[in-house]
Chains A and B, each alone.
Chain A
Amino acid sequence: MTVTRIAPLVTFRITFGLLMFFSLLRFWWRGWVTSVYVEPKFHFTYMGFDWVQPLGNTGMHLLFLVITLAALLVALGWFYRVAIVVFFLGFTYVELIDVTTYLNHYYFISLVAFIMIWLPANRDYSIDAWRRPEIRREETPRWTIGILRFQMAIVYVFAGLAKLNSDWLLRAEPMKTWLPARSHLPVVGQFMYEEWVAYLFSWFGAAYDLFIVFFLLNKKSRPIAYGFVLIFHIATAVFFPGIGMFPYVMIVSSLIFFSGEFHEKLLSYLPFYKNRLLSQLQTSYNYRYPRFITAAIIIYAFAQVLIPLRFLLYPGHLFWNEEGYRFSWRVMLMEKSGAAYFTVKDKSGQEFYTVNNKEFLTPLQEKMMSTQPDMILKYAHYLAAEYAKKGITEPKVYGEVYVSLNGSRSALFIDSTVNLAAQKQGWGHYAWVLQKETSKN
């Protein structure tokens, strides 16, 4: 089997681990563990993962402590295999608790952590390799780096393809809506009301996402391409600070495209790298290359290509219905907001109660629920259960929901005459979601 230098994998392990370590500290420090996973009385679970529940105040903080430490161990390469497995399971568990906090880069982190379980990223310049020199390797099978590059390519290319829609390219939405909110920025702020700036951002963003991977893969264009990576993601961080850690995740992960020699030089600036025991370094890889790895990689790659394309199986306007929207690298694509009013009626339809959403949901949960059909349905079912507890027989739940998308005026989102409590949750198309009206401004 073909091999390559292991250094890129080592850099990836260290930077990924450290970035996760600081991200998790930041999440904790901002009080989000409590506000997102302790305070809400109801969680929007993922279909099939209803058993993933928060673990209470102490439990959630302990879990975060464990994941944070695991991230640090990954960076250090100390009990690497155990640490990365714990990190993957813990992080994914947390993300599965509530759809509300779904972010594409959290999904990316889960995927990368899963991949890293199978990579020999601790086999050089790690505490494991220092304690057990016999595991040290100078080279690694090519696929171990290739699969990370593939994952990056999937993110960028699908993010680019998602931008090829008329709102983005022809109306420069949502940039046109978002940029005036950044008019306070020094120097560039004064241009934020200009339409051409919104078009420039939109078109540059689409081109960048579509093509950057190819320029990173090419040795000649790589340095300049990485300059673009830095410029693009720093700009994203400045203009859209709400996006959080995403730019930094991409800046750091993109280093995987650089050569082994580059990474060896990079690592040589770190302490102990140069004088680690090279004498014992085994260059040859003697572990076997079981066929199931090939099969697993092919299946994984197919899944990564097919999952973002599943939206093609659903009818209707993707951004409006959001069927097949998540797990597809659709980042910063739309400005969507809603107002959702629910009424609960009893079996006879005689009794009625308007629902105060604040009683059941946090502001963030209410905001996310108001524009996403599967969350509306999950909430309606929860309301039915809650009102049944209050003594209402066979509660019927009706939603009057209005949604505004990419600067178009708000319109009725779902059929307000449908008893949502009687609608089944599933992967199929939700016929009770109304068609998007042709937009008017």
Chain B
Amino acid sequence: MTNKRFVLSTMLMLTVVLFFACSKSDDDPNDNNPSGTDEFKKGMLVNYADNIIIPGYTDFIAKMDLLEAAVNAFLDNPSAATRDAVKAPFKTAYLAFENVSMPYFGPAAALQLNSYVNTFPPATSKIEAGVASGTYNFTQPGISDSLQGLPALDYLLFSDNAVEKFTTDTHAANRKKYVRDVMDRIATLSGNALSQWNSSYRTTFVNSLKTDVGSSIGSIVNQLAFEMDALKGPRIGYPFGKQSNGIVFADKAEAYFSGISGDLAVANLTALKNYYTGASGDGIADYLVLLKKEQLNTDVLAQFDIAINALKAIPAPLSAAFTGSPATVEEAYKQIQKLLTLLKTDVASATGVQITYMDNDGD
């Protein structure tokens, strides 16, 4: 090769490299072009979308419809009896939400669904101020999170003397409107999330076969750890006094007023196990087996069961157990932390998922 030809070919190659460098969007989270295939990963994601996430939202919306019927019956004719009739559908709807708490990415994240639907504890005095004045704004990110959603309903419908506040209270009419607005807001948000999944996001989701931030597998693994962290902190640890020198703040627990915190925690962790296994189809569990990490998978599954049983062993209601039966709560907390560690280190490592977009040169 003559020198000149070599110089020219080097220049050509460098141009190609630079073009590649500039146009390369491989680390762009929004680029999920199905340029290649991995039948296993694709099948796993189809399973997550079609058999778990989309049915999860559908179910939550259906349960919210049932709740709405009961809430309307109560608001039209407030009494202890009609209020008590709300309890069962409220619990069913809240349990259904635990099934869609995990997929907080894609449409749900864009809508900030979880923040608006399940930020607890509710800001009770701000809610009362909103009821009294009749003016409130549910669409301010962050600020309005704790004014609405299921925790607000929990407070409005099940706190002490709740029924009287809908009958004899001067702001009874305002209060009814507030409840209806909260219900409408949840319906709008969840309906919106479902329709996005049904229209375009499903395709995006099942074709995203990478493991970086924003990819489907990355989101699932990171959200498993995130939800475990929420279970360890806000759901159990904080009300139990883990951040406050052991001083119990039972009213910080999820759904404190209706007293279903324990059931919700069990439902949350059971849902997480479902997301881990992929239920009857392929999930992260099967992916680990494919990666020859059978022992890790076995250990994670066992730890899920240990943690779920430890949660179940806490006598209901959870709010009373914080002070009445602290040893059982402590044990559940410990087992949850063990499971969190496995998911955050061993599983995250084995699946090669990233947690940030930042460049790295291998830890």
Contacts and interface: CB of A to CB of B under 8 A. Distances in A.
A337 B13 CA distance: 37
A189 B349 contact: no
A184 B358 contact: no
Contacts of A180: 290-291, 352
Contacts of B348: 337
A291 B212 CA distance: 52
Nearest to A336: B363
Interface stretch (A57-65, A275-283, A352-360, A424-432): A352-360
Contact of A174 (B6, B353, B362): B362
Given A183-B209, A189-B36, A245-B359, A356 B24 contact: no
Contacts, number: 159
Given A189-B36, A242-B212, A339-B344, A234 B20 contact: yes
Interface in B306-363: 337, 340-342, 344-346, 348-363
Given A337-B349, A354-B237, A409-B296, A184 B36 contact: yes
A103 B41 CA distance: 31
Contact of B345 (A32, A333, A410, A441): A410
A183 B38 contact: yes
Contacts of B289: none
A41 B354 CA distance: 23
Given A186-B35, A266-B7, A335-B349, A237 B24 contact: yes
| Most chain A C-beta atoms within 10 Å of own C-beta, residue among B295, B353, B359, B363 | B363
A338 interface: yes
Contacts of B14: 251-252
A410 B342 contact: yes
A363 B349 contact: no
A353 B345 contact: no
A177 B293 CA distance: 11
Contacts of B245: 351-353
Interface residues of A, number: 69
A332 B268 CA distance: 37
A409 B348 CA distance: 12
B210 interface: yes
Contact of B349 (A32, A183, A356, A404): A404
B21 interface: yes
A265 B9 CA distance: 12
Interface in B202-217: 209-212
Contacts of B242: 353-354
Interface in A21-37: 22, 30, 32, 36
B41 A266 contact: no
A111 interface: no
Given A184-B37, A186-B35, A338-B345, A265 B3 contact: yes
A44 interface: no
B142 interface: no
Contacts of A305: none
Contact of B354 (A22, A36, A242, A252): A242
Given A184-B41, A185-B35, A407 B349 contact: yes
Contacts of B18: 248
Given A353-B244, A403-B345, A241 B26 contact: yes
A137 interface: no
Given A184-B35, A335-B363, A30 B3 contact: no
B243 interface: yes
A221 to B, nearest CB: 13
B27 interface: yes
A104 B296 CA distance: 32
Nearest to A267: B7
A266 B10 contact: yes
A354 B239 CA distance: 12
Contacts of A186: 35-36
B130 to A, nearest CB: 28
A257 to B, nearest CB: 12
A335 B35 contact: no
B355 A363 contact: yes
B225 to A, nearest CB: 8
A334 interface: yes
A303 to B, nearest CB: 21
Contacts of A244: 359-361
B246 A352 contact: yes
A337 B363 CA distance: 8
A334 B38 CA distance: 25
B110 interface: no
A202 interface: no
| Most chain B C-beta atoms within 10 Å of own C-beta, residue among A22, A178, A265 | A265
Contact of B361 (A226, A246, A248, A269): A246
A181 B17 CA distance: 24
Given A242-B354, A261-B3, A335-B362, A402 B341 contact: yes
Contacts of B6: 223, 262
A147 interface: no
| Most chain B C-beta atoms within 10 Å of own C-beta, residue among A30, A183, A336 | A183
B12 to A, nearest CB: 11
A356 to B, nearest CB: 6
A308 B337 CA distance: 37
Contacts of B344: 337-339
A403 B344 CA distance: 10
A174 B360 CA distance: 14
A105 interface: yes
Contacts of A433: none
Interface string A92-114: 00000000010111000000000
- Shortest Cβ-Cβ A-B pairs, 5 listed: A244-B359, A184-B209, A181-B352, A332-B362, A241-B26
12 contacts: A177-B350, A181-B353, A183-B36, A184-B38, A237-B24, A266-B10, A331-B361, A334-B362, A335-B349, A339-B340, A371-B363, A441-B296
Given A30-B357, A351-B245, A441-B296, 19 more contacts: A22-B22, A174-B362, A184-B35, A184-B210, A185-B36, A226-B10, A237-B20, A237-B24, A241-B24, A262-B7, A331-B362, A335-B363, A356-B233, A364-B355, A364-B356, A368-B363, A403-B345, A410-B341, A410-B346
